[in-house]
Chains A and B, each alone.
Chain A
Amino acid sequence: MTRSDPPDETEKMRADCLNAWFGELHALKDITLPVIENKVTAVIGPSGCGKSTFVRCLNRMHEVTDGARTSGDVLLDNRSIFRADVDPVSVRQRVGMIFQRPNPFPAMTVRENVVAGLRLSGADVRDVDSVAEDALRQVSLWVELKERLDAPVERLSVEQQQRLCIARCLALQPEVVVMDEPCALLDPIATSRIEEIIHGLRDRYTIVIVTHSMQQAARVSDYTAFFYLGELVEYDDADVIFTKPADSRTEDYITGRFG
């Protein structure tokens, strides 16, 4: 973590000595890590090292789990998201989240799903249809689905459901989008389609993506953080991490010697 930031990089978020627990289990230890605006930051590391826990701290989803707590801080635009006067609801709207398993709302149509976030947050939106169209266009689903907006969401393929979940998140106009292994259940073609979408989203959003795939991290990310046993081992430009990592544990991991 010795790299000096070029001047055009603004920190959208920052974890500052962040610790997280599940009851007695110390899942994250003193994580200090910037998230650069309009860039893709990948979080990699072996199973159980705390990747999901870390990203769930970024939008205060960690505290939803019974017995979960944190210490340290997470800054969004230089302001703590843990302050007493900050509403977790507004944090979650500014920092949207995509899960590993597509989780569209059952018993709703495609259209209802896209705008569900607006309804759920009680936002007063006049032109729901144009919000839906804009969100679907951003995930290249508009052309595919514009004739089927009133179809039950269960009829979509898993990959379409995942893109729909991304659209549902974007409809709330978040500033940061956190993705926890969004392609884990998808085949290579579907995966590359999602990766293309991530590329496109970078202009409008700041992205944090957890992935098990080194290739994916190398392909999509500008910066990469390597976690191991709840600690941040190394954070740097993606090409530095994947070509000449400073820590031997990072090198072991990316060359497949463990994990």
Chain B
Amino acid sequence: MTSALIRRRRTVDAVARGAAAACVVLLLAPTAIALTALVTEGARGIVGAGGWSVVRACAGTLMLAGIASAVAIPLGVGGGLYINEYRGGTLARAGRWAAGALSEVPAVVIGLAVHALLVAAVGRFSFLWGAAALALMIAPTMAHTTADAARSVPESVREAAIALGASRWRTTLFVVSRVVHARVARAAWITAARAAGATAPLLFMTEARDWPRQLTSGDDALPLQVFDAASRPDARAGAWAAALVLVTVAGVMSYFARRAATPRGHT
């Protein structure tokens, strides 16, 4: 190789690396600005409103997302395992189709549908209907992710289990689920965090705001609070406070997601 060629390669390398670094800076800058504003304004809002209001706001969101996750994550994971392990069957194919279709539907449409079907028809218990809307966002995503993860388990591993005398469902339960565990746990945290921050499916459920107040003397779901308060100039401080709490909650959850992604023994 001539030294001219080596020099050219070095130049190209330096330019490419510089350009990539610039992209990262451009990406980081708005994030940093937004975070700074969020922390300073949010802290001021929280101090103004008193710490107790933050606790109440958290309670509403965590309860909504918590109820939705508790129902939808096991359902999604179980469904996803079934979809992959029993593929070929009609039920599995229908399940794959439904999970795919539902996870493509915009959240606002899910909210509208739940509103039309449940809230309009039954009327009461709307807090639970809010959780139902979130669950409808979580379950298909989890099913999709789980089925994907299970598909990446080599067939030879299942064959080994069968040759040891395992039934199909034991193979799924003890071997396949072990392999997909980390990926699925990570997805569960991320999906739950996203649901906690989702506004769109809850927009129609104004009643969703009364229930936690009655039960816990808490407040609205956080995303709704942000959405509402942001549109009223007098309530901006509250919006900032709610947003800060929301981002913190999401941050904590994504920490758990990252921890879940590290399998045992692989430190």
- Within the complex, which residue of B153, B163, B181 is in contact with A61, where a contact is CB–CB below 8 Å? B163
Whether A121 sits at the interface, judged by CB under 8 Å, is: yes
Contact pattern, B 138-160, Cβ under 8 Å of A = 1, otherwise 0: 00000000000000011011011
- Structural contact, B265 and A103, CB atoms closer than 8 A: no
The total of chain B residues at the interface (CB under 8 A) is 24
**Which of A7-15, A164-172, A227-235 makes up part of the contact surface?**
A164-172
Could you say which of A59, A106, A150 has the most chain B C-beta atoms within 10 Å of its C-beta? A106
Known contacts A59-B163, A99-B160, A107 near B170 by CB under 8 Å: no
- Structural contact, A152 and B157, CB atoms closer than 8 A: no
Whether A47 sits at the interface, judged by CB under 8 Å, is: no
Report the minimal beta-carbon distance from A76 to chain B, rounded to whole angstroms.
14
- Structural contact, A107 and B181, CB atoms closer than 8 A: yes
Question: A residues within 8 A CB of B165?
Answer: 89-90, 92-93, 117, 120-121, 172
Whether A136 sits at the interface, judged by CB under 8 Å, is: no
- Structural contact, B164 and A172, CB atoms closer than 8 A: yes
The total of chain A residues at the interface (CB under 8 A) is 31
- Within the complex, which residue of A117, A151, A165, A172 is in contact with B265, where a contact is CB–CB below 8 Å? A151
Report the minimal beta-carbon distance from B181 to chain A, rounded to whole angstroms.
7
Known contacts A64-B162, A109-B265, A89 near B174 by CB under 8 Å: no
Which residues of B from 152 to 204 have beta carbons under 8 Å from A?
153-154, 156-157, 159-167, 170-171, 174-175, 178-179, 181-182
- Structural contact, A120 and B166, CB atoms closer than 8 A: yes
Known contacts A105-B175, A107-B179, A120-B170, A92 near B159 by CB under 8 Å: no
- Structural contact, B266 and A120, CB atoms closer than 8 A: no
Residue of B nearest to A168 (CB): B164
Report the minimal beta-carbon distance from B161 to chain A, rounded to whole angstroms.
6
Please name the 6 residue pairs, one residue from A and one from B, whose CB atoms are nearest each other, closest first: A120-B166, A117-B164, A103-B160, A97-B163, A93-B165, A92-B165
Residues of B within 8 A of A (CB): 153-154, 156-157, 159-167, 170-171, 174-175, 178-179, 181-182, 263, 265-266
A-B contacts, 12 of them at CB < 8 A, read: A61-B163, A90-B165, A92-B165, A93-B164, A106-B153, A106-B178, A106-B179, A107-B182, A120-B165, A120-B170, A168-B164, A172-B165
Residues of A within 8 A of B (CB): 59, 61, 64, 89-90, 92-93, 96-97, 99, 101, 103-109, 116-117, 119-122, 150-152, 165, 168-169, 172
